[in-house]
Structure 1
Amino acid sequence: MSEGERSSGTTRLITGLAWAVLLLGLWLWGREVTDVPHGTSAPTTGDVAAVGRPAGVELPPPAHPLGAARPQRIDIPELGVQAPVVARGLDAHGGIDPPPYEQAGVVGWYAAGAAPGAEGTALMVGHVDTETRPAVFYKLSSIRPGESVRVVRADGKVARFTVDDVEVIRRDLFDAAHVYGPRQPGRAELRLITCGGSYDRVSRSYTANVIVSAYLTGTSA
């Protein structure tokens, strides 16, 4: 953002510009930065189709959003995930900078966006695998609507989210506004994002992204 932009506009203008830049950067990240540098290994993820929201799944009402606080850990009981969370920014290409592959068990949180539990869409990213082993979000596509995600925050509160949608979106159909925008205004929402689809040895990248959408349904100390 230029010096003129920082000093000339209203908060609304600045917020709008920041959101537009974020969406562009995240779209690029969704198409490119999630690539895993495989060699000759076979694909290690079986994500092939959108799960969506099955008919007949009753979901609880949303809870009132919390104030902002840094996330410290994410727990996904159904997947056996209990992982530390680290703040991440944007990389040189304008996309979220995920944790390095040496920290494949760590989840990255976009710190310039919403905090998990606060109003808005909190964004968390993690690798599906590395060249040698599964990573923190290896089983992410198997989570189902109605299941839980818990985020332990620095204020001592645990934000409990309920999954309401799971998608596997092909890269050529990636829509940043749909993926990163709120599903319902006024809620505290959470997006968990990783690579999915099949691994293309020619492009050395995965063909899709797994997108899990959840919303705040409760808190505990």
Structure 2
Amino acid sequence: MATTSGHGRLVTGVAWALLLLGLWLWGREATEGPGGSSAPTHGDIAAVGRPLGVALPPAHAPLTRAAEPRRVEIPSLGIAAPVVARGLDADGAIDPPPFEMPQTVGWFGPGTQPGADGAALLVGHVDTETRPAVFYGLSAARPGEKVRVTRTDGTVAEFTIDDVQVLPRTAFDPSRAYGQHHPHRAELRLITCGGTFDRAAGTYSANVVVSAYLTGAA
């Protein structure tokens, strides 16, 4: 995700309209900016979906104690970043971490907490005008790799990646990207911009969506 010249903040590559209390979380892509780096394209090639033959562990029961995320780590990608809660801005889009915090991950606070029943949403910038950001290498994630989320209650929720997709903006299916894949399971979505950057349109062509599910807690 990248800034537009003259704008005071970095605009997120993905945003959600809030439909709670029996409704659904529906997504919409709202990236703007000059695209400081074109390298997400090469990373997108690595996105592998859910390949056959990858042994995945059984799901852990959802955690019942409420706790917000404070830190996320993906050891295989060298990602270790603080997490801050974000809501919706005046346009109904998720308000990302400020431009001055490109190495910080935003959690959609009105939604599911990581480790709870449902799909928790974490969004990070892929780049700035000058350098890679926190989720620059996200599309290189592989099924079977671990994501660890440290929570405010002191627990570390461990998730196992089971799906990596690059979803084009055209014919975008928000339920596929952000909805819970299996009932009564604690799931996680890590989301950033992907595809190629169209300078004329001011948008990236796709979203990278990494899906994971809870497999342990300590």
What range is the shorter-chain TM-score in?
0.7 to 0.9
How much has 1:42 moved relative to structure 2? 5.1
Q: Deviations over 1:94-146 (max 9, x none)?
A: 12111122110000000111100111110000000000000000000000000
How much has 1:16 moved relative to structure 2? 2.4
1:53 equivalent in alignment to 2:59: no
2: CA distance between counterparts of 1:217 and 1:43?
Answer: 34
**What TM-score do you get using the length of structure 2 for normalisation?**
0.86
How many residues are matched? 197
1: CA distance between counterparts of 2:112 and 2:129?
Answer: 32
**Higher Cα Rg, which structure:** 1
Q: Deviations over 1:38-89 (max 9, x none)?
A: 27x5513124454101110010000011122010000010111110000000
2: CA distance between counterparts of 1:205 and 1:15?
Answer: 32
Is the Cα–Cα contact under 8 Å of residues 47 and 210 in structure 1 kept in the other structure?
A: no
Moved more, 171-180 or 102-111: 171-180
1:38 equivalent in alignment to 2:34: yes
How much has 1:152 moved relative to structure 2? 0.2
Q: Secondary structure at the match of 2:100?
A: helix
User: For 1:1-221, what aligned pairs fall within 5 Å after superposition?
Assistant: 15-17=21-23, 19=24, 22-23=25-26, 26-27=27-28, 31-32=29-30, 34-35=31-32, 37-38=33-34, 43-45=38-40, 46-49=42-45, 50-66=47-63, 67-220=65-218
2: CA distance between counterparts of 1:219 and 1:164?
Answer: 17
Is the Cα–Cα contact under 8 Å of residues 62 and 186 in structure 2 kept in the other structure?
A: yes
Q: 1:118 to 1:135 in 2, by over 3 A?
A: same
Letter aligned with residue 34 of structure 2: H
User: Any runs of at least 4 consecutive aligned residues in structure 1 with deviations exceeding 3 A, and if so which?
Assistant: 47-50
How much has 1:174 moved relative to structure 2? 1.4
Runs of at least 5 residues in structure 1 that lack an aligned partner in the other structure = 1-12
Is the Cα–Cα contact under 8 Å of residues 37 and 128 in structure 2 kept in the other structure?
A: no
Q: Secondary structure at the match of 1:172?
A: coil
2: CA distance between counterparts of 1:177 and 1:144?
Answer: 22
2: CA distance between counterparts of 1:80 and 1:14?
Answer: 34
Q: Deviations over 1:148-168 (max 9, x none)?
A: 000000000000000000000
Higher helix share: 1
Is the Cα–Cα contact under 8 Å of residues 37 and 130 in structure 2 kept in the other structure?
A: no
1: CA distance between counterparts of 2:95 and 2:117?
Answer: 23
Is the Cα–Cα contact under 8 Å of residues 79 and 139 in structure 1 kept in the other structure?
A: yes
In structure 2, the partner of 1:9 is none
Runs of at least 5 residues in structure 2 that lack an aligned partner in the other structure = 1-18
1: CA distance between counterparts of 2:134 and 2:192?
Answer: 9
